[in-house]
Amino acid sequence: MLRLQLLLVNLGAKFVGVKLGILGFGTVGTGTVQLLQDREGRHPLLQEIEIYRVGVRSLDQPRAVKLPEGVLTTDLEAIVNDPAVDIVVEVMGGLEPARSLILKAISNGKHVVTANKAVIARFGAEIFTNANQAGVYVMLEAAVGGGIPVIQPLKQSLSVNRIQAVTGIINGTTNYILTRMQTEGSNFNDVLADAQRLGYAEADPTADVDGLDAGDKIAILASLAFGGRIHLEDVYCEGIRQVSKTDIAYAEKLGFVIKLLAIAKRQTKDNSKLSVRVHPTLVPKAHPLASVNGVYNAILVEGEPIGQVMFFGPGAGAGATASAVSSDILNLVAILKTTTTNPNPLLSCGHDDYCQIAPMAELVTRFYARFLTKDQPSVIGNLGTCFGKHGVSLESVVQTGVHGELAEIVVVTHDVREGDFRLALAEISTLEAIESIPSLLRVL
Amino acid sequence: MLRLQLLLVNLGAKFVGVKLGILGFGTVGTGTVQLLQDREGRHPLLQEIEIYRVGVRSLDQPRAVKLPEGVLTTDLEAIVNDPAVDIVVEVMGGLEPARSLILKAISNGKHVVTANKAVIARFGAEIFTNANQAGVYVMLEAAVGGGIPVIQPLKQSLSVNRIQAVTGIINGTTNYILTRMQTEGSNFNDVLADAQRLGYAEADPTADVDGLDAGDKIAILASLAFGGRIHLEDVYCEGIRQVSKTDIAYAEKLGFVIKLLAIAKRQTKDNSKLSVRVHPTLVPKAHPLASVNGVYNAILVEGEPIGQVMFFGPGAGAGATASAVSSDILNLVAILKTTTTNPNPLLSCGHDDYCQIAPMAELVTRFYARFLTKDQPSVIGNLGTCFGKHGVSLESVVQTGVHGELAEIVVVTHDVREGDFRLALAEISTLEAIESIPSLLRVL
């Protein structure tokens, strides 16, 4: 089934690599195809991937990306049954026909990449049992936390730990709503309506607002963190509809922010029982999750001996999700290429050229500088002239106080070439009014 | 060389699994051995690992963990030359003999796990070239960011992105010093002396305080993120000795905190040149890195299309580093076990039992509740009595204002069984003075 060698045809180099059958060409599907078609500057292994079929509902719809003749098809069954397809990428969403197509792909010996948290949370047992029997992988990095790498770290990097808890802000819509309620003092209903208008909430917001989407995701994370399956009906879900601006204000006074947390935690001392739940929660302001705002997601993992580790990033969006889907595809391609004499190209070092490093003089950055000067009215003007001559534009100048006979002036520049800034400084240091330049720091 | 099948000897189950030769038995080595010896509740694949040899300087020193007779040896050369050893774990630190032993292990066909950022930053080119020729892996998760999974996500999950920048707080000592200078308004020298006394800084603090340790680490991260080697001498390193409490105070007023950042960034539009540097930096307070305090580390990766992703966690310590070292070992064991009929056990789903989920009534948590009550002096007393009867102890009670005829009372409890709290609430809601309970939220 796999042809991993590069077949270089004389009439134009045509790669026969790993063939993808993509199910669905909506936001995530389109983002994934765009990423895979635009390989320059990404991992070289992407060149081994061929977008072989993309299954859609209708051929007539206008598309953001162009595909070669014959790639688009409305026959999704044919994709999962096609012996040429190596990896099926399910990005259509919904429960059916997604579940049946995934199962069919597995039974045909194909690896699967899916972004479908709803299907995995409900039918994960069936899907993974079949995958294990068929000897294929089902990868699901995009199902939780959008682009944030969290599934793979849980499976590979953190599994030497005894995990005690996984606590996440894993629904961007509700976090966006709560953040706006917090910063604006607005009501839930007003912010929801606005979020719907802006596209941050769906017309039917139930799955997000009532915590069901976060419930699917925490079930998946719990299963990976604690090495057992989860009955979705065991997951307690409480949404944010009843969170009022009054409570947000009181919470603030008491030193908390209100977040919709999804929590999976060892409940009993003997570790035999878990608590898995989604509910609005008062989070102490100093807690790492308290400052995760807007549509961002974060997942905090606590384990022994590691302590606390947090993964933070964009929880949704075409690009972020495409990154997660594509990384799963890349991992499968790497596995398919790995042989005894050919180590996994994602784990071995694939480069042997040196990077070119620019000298510091070419760096473009903002600067902070502190000057001690004689207390003369012309000093700030002289500084400004000198900086201006060398193309250094100032964001702020503060004369902050007088130390004995000396005045202290703090300057923050706009972006400037470090070389130019140094020339200006050299000239400034020769000015009669300048006593010293005790501090020079870069600004991010 | 590898015997991956379980060999069950009748007289006691003896596993012949993957044999480790560990070089060094200091903090990290001891932490790793402790983790590997205490497998209950961790990934089942750890059972395939045998601690076969541990190389030390002296056999006479007292040790925190017990090892079977014959495991400890002072002959480190013998470990890397022993045909029975599958994986060499280098946790001795320093440049030599670590480098030579790693190269010897590679030339003998052994996979290597190392926590040695100094060796990798200086001799990575030599080591990886030899490893590629020998067809073995060199894993280095522990070299950067302590326990934080960042090497593997950069190699595997994020490499489909065009990375634009990697920005990290990757030296715990300097971040601890800067955080204390910030919160206490203290001088660098005073905090350094105290940090040395408390064990957060070494007697010779040069490598940390002058940014050299962070320089080694950003060279490694840059190499992975941008797919090219880095000459360590190209990395600009400026430490924190010259950061004064005056500047920290001015930065604060201007809306910044000062952090020692390690930055690797595409410098030019055509992406041909990188900027790789370590220096104290003014970071806007709203930036995700601004709130990374104390000995914590964080690495922010920016790429297209993913946007910003951040990894946060303990940057040092025996447990955290042991977690990273052990996860590399586990990954190698998984690879060694993978065959065409035997998929990689870290990527496939290894469990088929269901987790037991505790009912919500058994949850132990803090609660926030808001009551609307008649404005009677006895109400708070009645509330307290009712809570007390059900074992609910209160952390704070605030009578916050009067709404028309009604008073508003907000209560935060100590940890309580949810079932008990619900019983108390049910009774409270029958009190004559209680008008309604508009809000009920859990507190993290």
CATH number at residue B373: 3.30.70.260
pTM of the shown model: 0.91
Give the pLDDT score at B7: 29
pLDDT given at position A272: 80
**Same domain membership, residue B257 and residue B391:** no
Whether residues A289 and A404 share a domain: the answer is no
Band of the pLDDT at B370, cuts 50, 70, 90? Answer: very high
- Whether residues A138 and A155 share a domain: the answer is no
B382-425: pLDDT as tens digits:
999 999 999 999 999 988 777 778 899 999 999 999 999 999 99
ipTM: 0.91
Token pair belonging to B242? 């010259």
d(CA B212, CA B191): 19
A256 inside domain: yes
Which residue from B229, B242, B444 is facing A352, i.e. has the nearest CB? B229
Query: CB–CB of A141 and B157 under 8 A?
Result: yes
Return the structure tokens found at A401. Answer: 């106080």
Q: Is B55 helix (H, G, I), strand (E, B) or coil?
A: strand
How many beta-carbon contacts under 8 Å exist across A and B?
A: 403
List the single residue in A with minimal CA-CA distance to B37: A160
Dihedral sign of CA atoms B60, B62, B63, B69 in order: positive
Q: Which residues of B touch A34 (CB under 8 A)?
A: 305
Catalytic residue among B19, B110, B117, B217: B217
For testing contact with chain A, the best of B254, B347, B399 (most A CBs within 10 A): B347
* % pLDDT > 90, chain A: 80
Q: What is the pLDDT of residue A354?
A: 85
Do the domain assignments include residue A11?
A: no
Please tell me the predicted confidence (pLDDT) of residue A16.
56
Q: Give yes or no: A337 in active site.
A: no
Whether the CB-CB separation of A262 and A315 falls below 8 Å is answered with no
Q: What digits encode the pLDDT tens for the residues A334-347? A: 988 887 667 787 77
Domain of A272 in residue numbering reads as 151-314
Per residue in B288-335, pLDDT tens? 999 999 999 999 999 999 999 999 999 889 999 999 999 999 999 998
Distance from CA of A148 to the nearest CA of B (A): 6
pLDDT score, position A318: 92
Same domain, A126 and A267: no
Q: Does residue A104 belong to any structural domain of this protein?
A: yes
Residue B76 lies in a domain: yes
Closest CA of chain B from A17, distance in Å: 17
| B191/B223 same-domain check | yes
The secondary element (H helix, E strand) that includes residue B236 is strand B236-237
pLDDT tens digits, one per residue of B235-276: 999 999 999 999 999 999 999 999 999 999 998 776 689 999
Q: Do A358 and B410 touch (CB under 8 A)?
A: no
| Mean pLDDT value across residues B350-354 | 77
B166 chain-A contacts, CB cut-off 8 A: none
pLDDT tens digits, one per residue of A201-249: 999 999 999 999 999 999 999 999 999 999 999 999 999 999 999 999 9
Q: Are residues B77 and B110 in the same domain?
A: yes
Are A273 and B358 in contact (CB < 8 Å)? yes
Residues B83 and B184 in one domain: no
Q: Which residues of A touch B358 (CB under 8 A)?
A: 267-268, 273-275
Q: Mean pLDDT throughout A288-304?
A: 96
Q: How many domains does chain A have?
A: 3
